[in-house]
Structure 1
């Protein structure tokens, strides 16, 4: 797919439509194994399990939420497969050739936050392994640096640097890495679950965790009602869907390399509802078994592995989960931020340089650790910022443009997507209104009820997308016939 006379300020080789499309269903599937199989993914699943009250409720809430995720990923994935362009370039169709920079930077900032959170989780697994040594435990407890222990800082920097090596070779190396990392963590997860079930004396769907402990562990989740209540289950489903808010936007960064639409659908089917439910099931079983063995509610797998008597088992668990977390960071955060930042200054910043900038920002954020605290609250607060963007892009692509995108014009400063000086006022106004209700009012004021935070992303999608559809009807743009590309 070639572009016709691209403008220099809108084009570089990394942002160009994908020329090689050799990703089959397995590679798309492993986008999701890399994205889901992480320490943060496990932590969130285990946390949500507590809110469900029992295993049946957990599978029901996670299962229905996973079907919604599957449907949304197909919508954005098909757009990427058809056009062959990454997220910030696709956003030009709805936000304008320059307005898309705003949408790209919002996604890039979120990627930097998540990059730091995932790197911290991976380094935490390494710390949990190393402090089994008495001398390193002493160093860990006695040395402070940047608000963390000296050992935590060292491990964070090591994990941070390892990720830079993966991205240096480009997207094909990313694909090969995720094809290996995703399945590897399944092996470690199953070993962990089976080993704990054996120690617990068998497999059980009954968690036996007292209600007072459930209330203690879920008190900061912002959910009304006791664990297992209707509103708690609604919150579980909403948080699970919101967890993927970032990937809804930039899944086209990967689906653009797919062989065909069928590869996207098959990869999503096995990687999302099937894989998500199975992963969550294993996380729940592991949480139950760990409680029966140790008498504690352990939400982090590295907390469990730290209790292993065997150094070898602890080493395998720590390294596998660290590698898996590197996988999600590369897929969900490095790739997205690289394309997003490159889109703003395509002549000066390549895909690799964009990734380096994102990594540097995550390193600066580390002393402040904004990701520490309640998992559900962090996921919902971060995810809500992207709801309006998704609503606008999907409404524009499917309802306004009817799936007809002039790919060549996405790279032309004075082409079809120039709108008002390169900015689509309809999209900007809709995004602003959606953000007021999804992000600013619930997170910065007390004007809205506490439960609003849990559903902020949904309000953003609905208000942003709905407003855009109304404005596009009242202020339609002149559409030229799409050219072949």
Structure 2
């Protein structure tokens, strides 16, 4: 769709509606292989496996929650395919042409945190390989930089820089990279799992991990009940759903390039419930087999590969996991932050510059390493911040606007989505109320029960979306120039 005479403060070529829509189901599928098949994805799946108490419980909890993820991704994916616009531009319909900057910056900040977390995970795989050398091990132990070992710092900067090279040629390069990076890690995961099962002398669904070990490994997860209990399984499902909180918002950054709605739906079907369950299955098998072989719980695949006798096998495993983690970082974090930051200053900041700013912020965050600690706790804390935004956007798109968006008006600062000086007060109030209950109270006070934080994202979506629906009913905010809905 062509946008005629857009406002310069709202438009650049990167933010314009997508014209080249060649992404079929395979490319959409590989958005998810790149997103899921990472060291952090494995770490989270293995951590949640321990909370389930049994292999059967794990598959049930992950399977049901994966269906919820599939449903939610279709909702935002269809909006991207229909309008052809990225997340920060779509948010203008709900928050106003200027208010969308707030929604975009929240997502950008979260992307920077995740960018740092994934970069640290990828560099950790490289560290695990290099410390097999005695001189590197000595360097790792003896040299400290910014609160980390000199080797960790050097590997972090190296991986951080490699990611910038991937994005140099834009989104089509991202698509080609993810088309092979995602499947590559599947091969490494299967080789790792099969090799450990053979070494263990076979596989048993009875993992044999004592309850005392499970309790010790899950004590910092912030989950009520012992592993395998009803509330532990509820927490597993909630955390798995929350893990994708960022992409619920900006999946339209990718679905906007899809050929049609069927490509989005089919790619999501294979990339989400099917792929998620299969990946989690392999992570569970690997965790069980590693415990049987080494007598300890190893939640990070690089910890397992570090124990290989062969340098070659260890190197292949470490490099494959590192490349896969670069894939998720580019797909889930670099792309989103680039669009979000560009949206704030489109005349001065294009897609690449926005990505460079996000990468710089991730580098600054490294000394503080806010992502270190329990996987479930980090995922829920970060994800909760985005719940109210999703609630507002989905309610506005599907219930208020009925799926009809005036795309040209998204680029007109005096058009339909100007609302009150460029801000939709209804959306801001609803987001603020949702944030109080999803993030502020559970994170900074003790007024709510300890388990509340595990479900913070859900409270954010429901309270934020519900409040927006109420306000939109009591004081409709729709006003402005003539409206021509998309076909």
Tell me which interval the TM-score lies in, with the shorter structure as reference length. over 0.9
Question: Contact 1:408 / 1:483 at 8 angstroms: preserved in 2?
Answer: no
Aligned to 2:394: 394
Aligned to 1:269: 269
2:440 is the alignment partner of 1:440? yes
Aligned to 1:39: 39
Aligned to 2:418: 418
TM-score by length of 2: 0.99
Q: CA deviation at 1:206?
A: 1.2
Matches within 5 A, 1:104-143: 104-143=104-143
Q: CA deviation at 1:483?
A: 5.0
Aligned to 2:461: 461
Question: Contact 2:118 / 2:326 at 8 angstroms: preserved in 1?
Answer: yes
Aligned to 2:7: 7
Q: CA deviation at 1:303?
A: 0.3
Report the 3-state secondary structure (helix = DSSP H, G, I; strand = E; otherwise coil) of the residue aligned with 1:31.
helix
Report the 3-state secondary structure (helix = DSSP H, G, I; strand = E; otherwise coil) of the residue aligned with 1:108.
helix
Q: CA deviation at 1:482?
A: 1.9
Aligned to 2:202: 202
Question: Contact 1:340 / 1:354 at 8 angstroms: preserved in 2?
Answer: yes
- Alignment match of 1:482 (pick from 478, 481, 484): 484
Aligned to 1:164: 164
Q: Distance in 2 between matches of 1:305 and 1:469?
A: 51
Q: Distance in 2 between matches of 1:110 and 1:28?
A: 23
Q: Distance in 2 between matches of 1:173 and 1:92?
A: 27
Alpha-carbon displacement from aligned partner over 1:384-442 (angstroms, at most 9, x marks no partner): 00000000000000000000000000000000000000000000000000000000000
Matches within 5 A, 1:94-105: 94-105=94-105
2:216 is the alignment partner of 1:243? no
TM-score by length of 1: 0.99
Aligned to 1:289: 289
Aligned to 2:144: 144
Aligned to 1:231: 231
Q: Kindly tell me: are residues 483 and 271 of structure 1, through their superposed partners in 2, closer, same or farther at Cα, counting changes over 3 Å? A: closer
Q: CA deviation at 1:484?
A: 5.3
Alpha-carbon displacement from aligned partner over 1:177-219 (angstroms, at most 9, x marks no partner): 0001000000000000000000000122111000000000000
Q: Distance in 2 between matches of 1:433 and 1:478?
A: 21
2:336 is the alignment partner of 1:362? no
Q: Distance in 1 between matches of 2:486 and 2:283?
A: 48
Q: Distance in 2 between matches of 1:471 and 1:19?
A: 35
Q: Distance in 1 between matches of 2:455 and 2:477?
A: 32
Report the 3-state secondary structure (helix = DSSP H, G, I; strand = E; otherwise coil) of the residue aligned with 1:216.
helix
Question: Contact 2:168 / 2:352 at 8 angstroms: preserved in 1?
Answer: yes
Question: Contact 2:388 / 2:464 at 8 angstroms: preserved in 1?
Answer: yes
Q: Distance in 2 between matches of 1:9 and 1:51?
A: 49
Aligned to 1:217: 217
Report the 3-state secondary structure (helix = DSSP H, G, I; strand = E; otherwise coil) of the residue aligned with 1:18.
coil
Question: Contact 1:245 / 1:386 at 8 angstroms: preserved in 2?
Answer: yes
Q: Which runs of 5+ in 1 are unaligned?
A: none
Q: Distance in 1 between matches of 2:455 and 2:60?
A: 19
Q: Distance in 1 between matches of 2:478 and 2:420?
A: 12
Q: Distance in 1 between matches of 2:205 and 2:329?
A: 32
Question: Contact 1:51 / 1:227 at 8 angstroms: preserved in 2?
Answer: yes
Q: Distance in 2 between matches of 1:482 and 1:418?
A: 16
Matches within 5 A, 1:370-389: 370-389=370-389
Question: Contact 2:392 / 2:427 at 8 angstroms: preserved in 1?
Answer: yes
Question: Contact 2:404 / 2:486 at 8 angstroms: preserved in 1?
Answer: no
Aligned to 2:26: 26
Question: Contact 2:387 / 2:461 at 8 angstroms: preserved in 1?
Answer: yes
Matches within 5 A, 1:47-126: 47-126=47-126
Residues paired across the two proteins, number: 485
Q: Distance in 2 between matches of 1:481 and 1:11?
A: 19
Aligned to 2:328: 328
Q: Greater CA deviation, 2-11 or 103-112? A: 2-11
Question: Contact 2:416 / 2:483 at 8 angstroms: preserved in 1?
Answer: no
Question: Contact 2:22 / 2:257 at 8 angstroms: preserved in 1?
Answer: yes
Report the 3-state secondary structure (helix = DSSP H, G, I; strand = E; otherwise coil) of the residue aligned with 1:417.
helix
Q: Distance in 1 between matches of 2:374 and 2:420?
A: 42
Q: Distance in 2 between matches of 1:204 and 1:484?
A: 54
Q: Distance in 2 between matches of 1:182 and 1:122?
A: 14
Alpha-carbon displacement from aligned partner over 1:245-269 (angstroms, at most 9, x marks no partner): 0000000000000000000000000
Question: Contact 1:43 / 1:375 at 8 angstroms: preserved in 2?
Answer: yes
Aligned to 1:452: 452
CA RMSD of aligned residues (A): 0.7
Alpha-carbon displacement from aligned partner over 1:284-332 (angstroms, at most 9, x marks no partner): 0000000000000000000000000000000000000000000000000
Question: Contact 2:83 / 2:486 at 8 angstroms: preserved in 1?
Answer: no
Q: Distance in 2 between matches of 1:471 and 1:311?
A: 62
Report the 3-state secondary structure (helix = DSSP H, G, I; strand = E; otherwise coil) of the residue aligned with 1:370.
coil
Q: Distance in 2 between matches of 1:484 and 1:73?
A: 21
